[in-house]
Every structure is written in C-alpha cells, then in structure tokens.
C-alpha cells in the first residue's frame, strides 16, 4: 500500500495492520475494509470503526485511547519509571527523570501485560521484586516550593505506583530518601503495612509521622489469606499548603492523603514542620522504613511493582481517579475525551445548551472563552456521532444566526480549528476569524465554509490562498472538518479524519487580533472562492480551537474517537 491510499492518507502517517484490504459487497456499494493503528500524542492510541466521507470506505482500528502513560505525562512527573525492562536488565529506563539501577534479583513479573491496560505498539511489562531487591534512581531529585528559601510555599509531593502482592506481604514500595540509612527531614515513603493497608510515612523536622487506616472497613491492598493477588493503584499526596485549621495533627485539614484504587482512604494534617526543599533518590522496592509506629511494616518488599511516578505537585482527586480508570481501561475514548486530552486547547464549545428564554451564552468546556448566540438558533437538535451516551445534541442555524467568541484574542502563527457540520442543502461559513463579533461588514482573516456548490473550502485572506475540495458535502450526514496552519504558513484541510488538501505556501497571515465565529460573519466579496451564503444553514456541533497545528495522526484520532 505505498503511494496513493484510497482514503487520501499519506504513506507512513497511518500504518496498516492485520490482513490486506479486502473488498466487501454491501448492497450496491463496495466497501474497502482496512485495519489501521493510529498513533496519537504521548503514545496514545485510538480505537474506532467508521466510514469515510464520499468513498464509503470503512476504517477499522483496534487499540485503546486515551492512554495511561499519556495521562501520567500530562500530570508532569519529575520521575516516571514504566518498568518495562526485560528480564536480566541492570538499568531501569525512565520516561521522566533519571534512569535507575537494579540492585538484587529483580525479574520480569509472571503477569506479562503488567498493571495497566495494554496499548498497541508498546510493551506492557512489570517487575517482580523478591525480598531485599530494589531499584534506585541514578541521580537525586530535588523538589522545592514556589517561593525562595525562608519565604513562599513549601514543596508539594505525590508518590504513585501499581503494586501486586498477596496476603502477608508488603513493605516499602516507593521512597524518596535523602539518606537510606538515616532518613532526614523530607524523607517520604509509600508502603504496605502488615495489615495490607497502603501507608505514607514522613520524616519531619521534629519527628516522624505515619498515615495509615484505622477503620476496618477501609479498602486494603489485601485483607485475608483467601485474597487472590491483583494489581492495585496506590498514591500518597503531601500538600503542606492545604490549611489544616488550628493546631497540628488535626483531622480537619487534608495535608497528607493516601489513595487506593483511585479513592482517598484516609488523610491527616501534618504533625510537625515540613522542610523548604525535599531532596533525595527515588528508591523502588526494599528500603528501611522509619515511621511504622502504628501498624508494623516490613522493610523488605516482595511482589510486583509497576508504573512508578513522583510529582513535584499535589495531584488532586480527579487526576488520581483518572489515572486509575485509564490504567484499568474504564475510561471511554469518546470525542470529548480525545479533544480535551490534547495540548494547547484554546476553546471547546460542545453546543449542548438547553432551550430557555433568553439563552445567549455558550459554555466553553476548556474554561477559557465562552461564546454568544446571535439570532436565537434551534438548540438541542440531534448531534454528531461523538461516541457519548446518551447521544449528543447540537445547534441548528437557519441562515440568519451565528455564534461568536466572547473575547478578542491574537491569532497565533500556528493554529487548528475543528467543527462537526451537517447540511441538507445549505451553504455558508462554518468557522471564521476576524475583527468583528457580529454582522458582515469586514473581511475575515481566515474562513472555512461551504461554497455554492457544496464544496468545502479553507481560505486565508492575506496573502489570499484557498484549499478547496471537489465534492458536494450537502448530503445530510455529519462530517468533521479540521483546518490547520503550521507556523511557516502551510495550510491543511481534513474531512472526517482524512487530509483532503493542502497549500504549502510559506506565507502566514501575521498576528491579527479578533474573534472566532461559527456559522457566519464577514464580507467575503474579495474572496476568489466564496461561501454560498453569508450565514450557514444546517447543524453545527463540537466546535474547538487549538493554538498549534494538529498532526494528521491527531486529526485521525479525533474523527475515530467518535465511533
């Protein structure tokens, strides 16, 4: 399948998997079935089955999106050891921070896929640590607060890992130790005690503190001799900036929290001073535990450990739950999750407003730029196939309505804009960027629109150039249009995840300031290729803007995540 692909996908961008394409007779239409694997950012992979516009060709992929490791990387770890190292390795590779060195007989675990749900194209192994075996980072990690020494915030810290151990086992899992033999202030450890509870131990400026459960109903890593060992997600959060109320060690302030399988099990306030910086080596597996005063804990770990991460931040409950859900594969890869998972999202209007008297404001799921309805369009009409349950809703414009952004902002040199549209005959602008919020008196700087013959066009005004398709898209079905510009001025136009045209000009439109508008706006009389009407007639859904160029893989992931 080299050279031209029947979907218009450039060779090398999307990889064929499985059997060769096969033609299937379905009624009077011949469908070409292709198995594809679409790589997204940070190792994320998409799973979808859908039909391309115009050709009727059906695309099929098998994988998982979003991806656990992509989510961990977005949370900004200072250390991340995936523990995919093959049996016999002496080095523990790192996705963030310094690599580590195994000490003792660390071996590949008997669970071949590790703790987290596998993603296509990547190994998913874990490491089994027998007693006394451990891995240590090759360099120190230093975490400080946002202020200077003696003033400002104290450092925040999160330790995270997946563990696999059975009844009667446990011990140190992840430690940040300035001195393994004599822990000093700032030493932090996440471990399992002899009751099967996940605990965090802290060495403070005037003593030690252990935070474990005291309620027999609290979830445990293991609880009886009949438990079958399973992978558990554990995390410890230290946030000295969280107000504990008056006094120390009061339970009305959650400065130290312990999570198991995405849910906080117990928390406490700090019982003594926290240092202004925390510096030490990350150690995984066996380590001396200096804080097991309540329920004893073994120093020597025996069991599986996977996906260890350390953050110079206090992850919130939503992030930790998301990490757990992604690791277990219980997060649906619908369109909304794929949009919000990509970097540089500037605006995301899902267009799901409820009909009510005087409804004018459009919510922004990115929390950055709300919009305004002009002319009271029809709300809550049937939406695009975005993979959500129940099915989504959209906005219907009738050739007199449009929607504008609520604030003027500069147009970056690189950008992307997407929107789902459905037309049964109507034409006009789908999305534009220009100096006015309402009316049609000024020239837009950029515009994506349907021409009078239903062709899809993407135009930049200065210097003017246009990418245009050859097909009439007024078929009544839903289509995803994506227009991107690279910082050097290259324009790309995509339809339903497939690139349908580009202009490789090196000229960019500069950095004008203005408003994003959807469904109308602007004077197009100077455009060589014009919209078929001043305002769009049809349905719009899921409008978004990014301050960067989306890659072809990312565009394919967005379209594919809708099925």
Per-residue pLDDT for 256 more than 70? yes
Per-residue pLDDT for 60 more than 50? no
Give 272-303 pLDDT, tens digit per residue. Answer: 778 888 888 999 999 888 876 666 888 888 88
- pLDDT (average), residues 193-200: 89
Residue 371 burial (CB < 10 Å; 0-12/13-18/19+)? buried
- Gap between the Cα atoms of 459 and 446, Å rounded: 6
Confidence of residue 3 (pLDDT cuts 50, 70, 90): very low
Helix and strand counts by DSSP (H, E) for the chain: 4, 39
- Gap between the Cα atoms of 8 and 491, Å rounded: 16
What tokens appear for 406 in the block? 């609520």
* 270 and 202 Cβ atoms separated by less than 8 Å: yes
**pTM to 2 decimal places:** 0.56
Query: Containing H/E element for 556?
Result: helix 552-560
- Gap between the Cα atoms of 165 and 131, Å rounded: 12
Confidence of residue 382 (pLDDT cuts 50, 70, 90): very high
- pLDDT (average), residues 443-459: 93
Q: What is the pLDDT of residue 562?
A: 62
- Gap between the Cα atoms of 227 and 310, Å rounded: 29
Whose tokens are 């210097």? That residue is: 463
Q: What is the pLDDT of residue 123?
A: 63
Q: Report the percent of the chain where pLDDT is more than 70.
A: 76
- pLDDT (average), residues 54-71: 52
- pLDDT (average), residues 333-359: 80
Per-residue pLDDT for 472 more than 70? yes
Q: What is the pLDDT of residue 536?
A: 94
Q: What is the pLDDT of residue 284?
A: 94
Stretch among 82-96, 180-194, 487-501, 528-542 having the lowest mean pLDDT: 180-194
* Alpha carbon 128 to its chain's center: 29
Q: What is the pLDDT of residue 441?
A: 67
Stretch among 19-23, 41-45, 64-68, 317-321 having the lowest mean pLDDT: 19-23
Per-residue pLDDT for 18 more than 70? no
- Gap between the Cα atoms of 81 and 310, Å rounded: 9
- pLDDT (average), residues 221-246: 79
Q: What is the pLDDT of residue 468?
A: 95
**pLDDT: is 346 or 508 the higher one?**
346
**pLDDT: is 510 or 512 the higher one?**
512
Reference 115, options 185, 47, 168, 68; nearest CA is: 68
**pLDDT: is 387 or 393 the higher one?**
393
Q: Report the percent of the chain where pLDDT is more than 90.
A: 29
User: What average pLDDT is seen over the chain?
Assistant: 78
- pLDDT (average), residues 321-326: 84
DSSP of 437-472, one letter per residue? Answer: SSSS-S--SEEEEE-TTS-EEEEETTTTEEEE-SS-
Per-residue pLDDT for 121 more than 60? no
- Gap between the Cα atoms of 391 and 387, Å rounded: 7
**pLDDT: is 108 or 178 the higher one?**
178
Instruction: Give CA angle at 426 (371, 357), nearest 5°.
Output: 40
Q: What is the pLDDT of residue 209?
A: 86
**DSSP-based three-state secondary structure for 29:** strand
Q: What is the pLDDT of residue 46?
A: 42
Confidence of residue 183 (pLDDT cuts 50, 70, 90): low
Per-residue pLDDT for 244 more than 80? no
Q: What is the pLDDT of residue 366?
A: 80
* Cis amide prior to 463 (ω within 30 degrees): yes
Stretch among 103-107, 228-232, 310-314, 395-399 having the lowest mean pLDDT: 103-107
Count the neighbouring beta carbons within 10 Å of the beta carbon of residue 270.
21
Per-residue pLDDT for 144 more than 80? yes
Domains of the chain are 15-66 (no CATH), 69-328 (2.60.120.200), 338-560 (2.60.120.200)
Q: What is the pLDDT of residue 34?
A: 32
Query: Containing H/E element for 322?
Result: helix 317-328
Per-residue pLDDT for 33 more than 50? no
Whose tokens are 């891995």? That residue is: 135
**pLDDT: is 233 or 13 the higher one?**
233
CA distances from 233 to 32, 163, 170, 192, 431 (A): 42, 7, 14, 12, 43
Give 422-447 pLDDT, tens digit per residue. Answer: 999 999 999 999 888 777 767 788 99
What tokens appear for 340 in the block? 């919000």
Per-residue pLDDT for 131 more than 90? no
* Cis amide prior to 365 (ω within 30 degrees): no
**DSSP-based three-state secondary structure for 337:** helix
Instruction: Give CA angle at 220 (214, 222), nearest 5°.
Output: 130
- Gap between the Cα atoms of 456 and 471, Å rounded: 8
User: Of 29-33, 99-103, 126-130, which has the strongest mean pLDDT?
Assistant: 99-103
Confidence of residue 8 (pLDDT cuts 50, 70, 90): very low
- Gap between the Cα atoms of 105 and 114, Å rounded: 18
**pLDDT: is 26 or 258 the higher one?**
258
Q: What is the pLDDT of residue 90?
A: 87
Residue 104 burial (CB < 10 Å; 0-12/13-18/19+)? middle
Cβ within 8 Å of residue 112, ≥6 positions away: 125
């Amino acid at each position: 399948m080299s050279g031209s692909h029947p979907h218009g996908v450039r060779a090398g961008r999307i990889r064929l998997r499985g059997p060769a394409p096969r033609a299937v007779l379905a009624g009077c239409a011949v469908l070409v079935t292709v198995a594809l694997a679409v790589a997204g950012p940070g190792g994320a992979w998409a799973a979808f089955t859908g039909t391309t516009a115009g050709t009727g060709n059906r695309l099929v992929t098998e994988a998982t999106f979003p991806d656990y490791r992509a989510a961990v990387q977005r949370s900004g770890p200072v250390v991340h050891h995936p523990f995919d190292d093959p049996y016999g390795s002496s080095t523990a590779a790192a996705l963030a921070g310094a690599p580590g060195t195994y000490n003792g007989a660390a071996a590949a675990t008997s669970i071949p896929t590790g703790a987290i749900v596998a993603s296509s194209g990547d190994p998913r192994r874990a490491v089994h640590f027998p007693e006394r075996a451990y891995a240590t980072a090759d360099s120190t990690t230093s975490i400080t607060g946002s202020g200077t020494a003696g003033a400002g915030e104290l450092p925040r810290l999160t330790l995270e890992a997946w563990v696999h151990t059975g009844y009667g086992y446990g011990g140190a899992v992840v430690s940040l130790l300035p001195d393994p033999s004599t822990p000093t202030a700032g030493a932090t450890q996440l471990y399992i005690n002899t009751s099967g509870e996940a605990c965090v131990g802290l060495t403070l400026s005037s003593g030690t503190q252990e935070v474990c459960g005291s309620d027999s109903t609290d979830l445990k890593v293991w609880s009886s001799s009949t438990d079958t060992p399973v992978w558990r997600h554990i995390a410890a959060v230290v946030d000295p900036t969280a107000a504990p109320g008056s006094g120390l060690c009061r339970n009305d302030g959650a400065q130290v929290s312990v999570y198991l399988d995405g849910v906080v099990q117990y928390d406490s306030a700090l019982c003594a001073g926290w240092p202004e910086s925390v510096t030490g080596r990350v150690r995984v597996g066996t380590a001396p535990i200096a804080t097991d005063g309540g329920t004893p804990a073994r120093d020597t770990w025996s069991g599986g450990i996977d996906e260890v991460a350390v953050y110079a931040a206090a992850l919130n409950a939503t992030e930790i739950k998301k990490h757990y859900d992604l690791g277990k594969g219980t997060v649906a890869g619908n369109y909304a999750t794929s949009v919000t998972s990509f970097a540089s999202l500037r605006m995301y209007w899902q267009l799901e407003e409820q009909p009510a008297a005087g409804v004018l404001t459009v919510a922004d799921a990115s929390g950055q730029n709300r919009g305004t309805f002009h002319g009271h369009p029809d709300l809550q009409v049937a939406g695009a196939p975005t993979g959500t349950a129940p099915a989504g809703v959209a906005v219907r414009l009738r050739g007199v309505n449009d929607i504008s952004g609520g604030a003027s902002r500069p147009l970056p040199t690189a950008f992307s804009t997407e929107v789902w549209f459905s037309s049964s005959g109507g034409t006009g602008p789908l999305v534009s960027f220009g100096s006015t919020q309402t009316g049609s008196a000024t020239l837009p700087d950029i515009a994506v629109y349907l021409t009078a013959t239903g062709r899809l066009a993407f135009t930049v005004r200065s210097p003017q150039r246009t990418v245009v398709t050859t097909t009439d898209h007024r078929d009544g079905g839903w289509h995803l249009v994506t227009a991107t510009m690279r910082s050097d001025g290259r324009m790309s136009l995509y339809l339903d995840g497939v690139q349908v045209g580009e202009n490789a000009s090196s000229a960019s439109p500069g950095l004008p300031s203005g408003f994003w508008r959807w469904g109308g706006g602007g004077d197009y009389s100077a455009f060589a290729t014009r919209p078929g009407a001043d305002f769009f007639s049809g349905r719009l859904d899921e409008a978004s803007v990014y301050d960067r160029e989306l890659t072809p893989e990312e565009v394919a992931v967005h379209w594919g995540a809708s099925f």
